[in-house]
Amino acid sequence: MRLPFRLKNALSLIILLPGMVFLTSCSSQVAVKNDSLVAANLTRKADIEIYPDDRPSVPDGKVYWGQQNCASCHGATGSGGSATVNLADKIWMHKQKPIDQFMLVAYGKPGTNHPALTDKLTKRQVWDLVFYTRSLAVPELNDEQIMAVDPVFGSNCAVCHGKKGKGDGPLAHALEPVPANFSQFRRFYDRSDDILYDHIANGIKWEGMPDFLGKEDKAKNVKFDEEYIWKLVQYVRNFHETNLATLPEDTAAPKTGATSPIK
């Protein structure tokens, strides 16, 4: 049976319409994506491009601080010079996320005079510099201080987080979500010290994290006051940085920038 011409055209349009809508929708989405600044920054934020393979070294970062002449703007201790930010301000530094500081040092920031160091330092060197900069306000724990906190962490925190902070303590399997793994750089470089303090002091009830502020470990003769909780914050940060130098002792001004992986 032959259909009337108008009905035949109407049926053809009905058949083609979904495909036309799909193509129009795709074109719109592609256009938005191509115009978006997010797409241009995706490679910068990929784990393989940004996060280090091992804990950054604070002593190594001090070498790069001197090499890049950071003191010319920030002052020798980070508290002076022509820079508008006082890097030795503990309260200010507690609010800074390591990942944000990495992005600033590596790529600079529009509206500021801070240079981008991607052509001068490698990814690992930038992280070393970031954690040295953080240490200007909040010095990393030395070995003696770490050993003093170690047994307190062992008897109060390791049951969930594990002795090495891997989130694999004896009670970890019974908790949902599982306890935090302190060696996950992507997670903890996106947290400020203030956030870590809040989690330790006040707990995270919906995740099973207890509050420690005001409590005591009588066996260890330790009271979890504000000062000691800040010490625990630095102990946790020890999983994210190291106070050990990795550069050769005779390396006064290491060569940098030849094979920078930061793009």
pLDDT at 82: 67
Whether residue 239 is predicted with pLDDT greater than 90 in this model: the reply is yes
Question: What kind of fold does domain 47-135 have according to CATH?
Answer: Cytochrome Bc1 Complex; Chain D, domain 2 (1.10.760)
The domain limits of the chain are 47-135, 143-237
Instruction: Give the number of other Cβ atoms within 10 Å of residue 133's Cβ.
Output: 25
- Give the single-character DSSP code of 227: H
Asked if residues 63 and 254 have their Cβ atoms less than 8 Å apart, the reply is yes
70-121 per-position pLDDT tens digit: 999 999 999 976 667 899 999 999 999 999 999 999 999 888 888 999 899 9
Query: Tens digit of pLDDT for each residue in 112-169?
Result: 888 999 899 999 999 999 999 999 999 999 999 999 999 999 999 999 999 999 999 9
pLDDT at 49: 65
**How far are the Cα atoms of 81, 98, 135 from residue 131, in angstroms, in the given order?**
20, 8, 6
The pLDDT score that the predictor gives to residue 31 is: 34
Q: Is 156:217 a contact under the CB 8 Å cutoff?
A: yes
User: Can you tell me the distance from the alpha carbon of 209 to that of 200, in angstroms, rounded to the nearest whole number?
Assistant: 8
Are 47-135 and 143-237 the same fold in CATH?
A: yes
User: Going by DSSP bridges, is the β-strand pair 222-223/216-217 parallel, antiparallel, or unpaired?
Assistant: antiparallel
Apex 159 CA angle, 153 and 164, nearest 5: 60
The end-to-end CA distance of the chain, in Å, is: 66
Q: Are 99 and 190 in contact (CB under 8 A)?
A: yes
The second-level CATH assignment, the architecture, of 143-237 is Orthogonal Bundle (1.10)
Check residue 2 and give its pLDDT. Answer: 52
Residue of higher predicted confidence among 196 and 111: 196
The pTM (predicted TM-score) of the whole model is: 0.77
pLDDT in tens, 8-40: 454 454 444 444 433 333 333 333 333 333 333
